[in-house]
Structure 1
Amino acid sequence: MNLGFEEEQAPYKGPTQKARFWTEAWVHSQVYCPNCGRQSITKYENNRPVADFHCSHCREEYELKGQKSKFGAKIVDGAFSTMCKRLSASDNPNLMLMNYDLKRLRVSNFFVVPKQFFIPEIIEKRKPLAQTARRAGWVGCNILLSRIPEMGKVFLVRSGTPVPQDKVLEQWQRTLFLRNEAAEARGWLIEVMKCVEAIGRTQFNLDDVYAYEKQLSQIYPDNHNVRPKIRQQLQVLRDNGYLEFASRGHYRLIIR
């Protein structure tokens, strides 16, 4: 994988247009489909409302966002109402996120958030624009990257180094089972996955997860049976090969 941009191919003068051209050209020439491994993905025609790329083999779709600095806890996105509609749509694209260095014309980080991780809990509604604004009353949204488990951030390039393709494909496949779950069920599974990650050990017990009961209660205030819900999610994660029961009340993350 070549991490450099081809500067001489950019037909634009403005820095924003140049950056968009370079990043799209790089993805088209260098990025494989993380779902099926096909060695190239296809760029859609310009001005498509949602997706930027698709895989002609498995039909996965991807939206690209790039910026010079590393992505923080949240990403500014478009209209809140549009995003809410996308969450329930079967063709909601996966999100590609790229950090680039324009001085060196190189990709620093590139990762994909699979679409199964897009749930209402990671979308933050912004305040309406002021009445003095050109689009007065318009309501945007933020994508809360901090609410996405690390397993939901599939790196192809990390800190300027390509990640082996077999590792990328394996990580992608491990969470595809979430697509078979309804939005609310996915939300609970993803939150419990985050709790398990926060424990920081491959082996843990039920009390370790119960330590996040208050946090989960704040996210789901209408649920008054959080501990049984936690046990249920751990069962689903076990059934789908994400973790295994080591013994009664003890669990082990499955690391391949």
Structure 2
Amino acid sequence: MNFVNPMLNVATSQAVQVGGEILFGAVALIALGYCIRVARRQRKLWPLYLYAGSALNFLYEPFNNLLGHCAYPVIGQHTLITVFDQHIPIYIGLVYIFYFSLPVPLLVQRWEAGITKRQFWKDYIVLAVLVAAFEPMFIKFGWWLYHGGNQALAFTGFPMWWWFANPMCVFAVAAMVFLLRRYVFTSNRQAVLIVPLVPLTLFASHASAATPVFVAINQTTGDGWTTAASIVTIGISLLYVWIISKAVISTARPTPEPTDVTEHSGRVHSMT
């Protein structure tokens, strides 16, 4: 298994580091504004808990990079975290924030309002296209790199299996929030559990679907096995999305809001 980070001796400019922090930080602030808007409109805190959980998703990146052979230039980097010799820049932490906290509240609200099968899959396809279009420009300019000669189906520098796995895990987080609010939470205070469950859902959904690629890319030098593994990972990602669709489409209806209930003098008082 190859643990070598080929970007350890590659330099990055301060313009890239600061520019990335400003660019992605601005989008993260837009996402915060959107979450605040949804929270105020619904008078619920779950969008803010989702935002906080999204801010923890960077913890997955070192594992993801190590196993998927992705790396960032290290010399001159404004480093957020270093694990397994994987150096993660601050701007990627900001990417994780808006990557989830923008689409997830939108999806949850659409599902709660009721959604058809066609609408559900259209949303997934749109998100997959956005994911596929987002990274190639930054890869071209050296902000990050998918390295190794056995990266499969990497026509744009961004291997194709990511196009399907990344939007899948966004849908998985949205499904977690949607289903917990509908079937599990009986008190608004319980929504704070969303904070740790966001990164845990990311780990569980993305890493499990990507396991075939992670194994193949670290065991072979050619792209034959990784191509086959990529197809399997794409299939697993689509399977997960199909399962989510069954849960969401079959239950989509306005979500009853949880309340904190106390009983006094034979009467039940609801506190919202």
| TM above 0.5 | no
Query: Given the two structures, how large is their TM-score scaled by the length of structure 2?
Result: 0.27
Structure 1 or 2: larger helix share? 2
Structure 1 or 2: larger strand share? 1
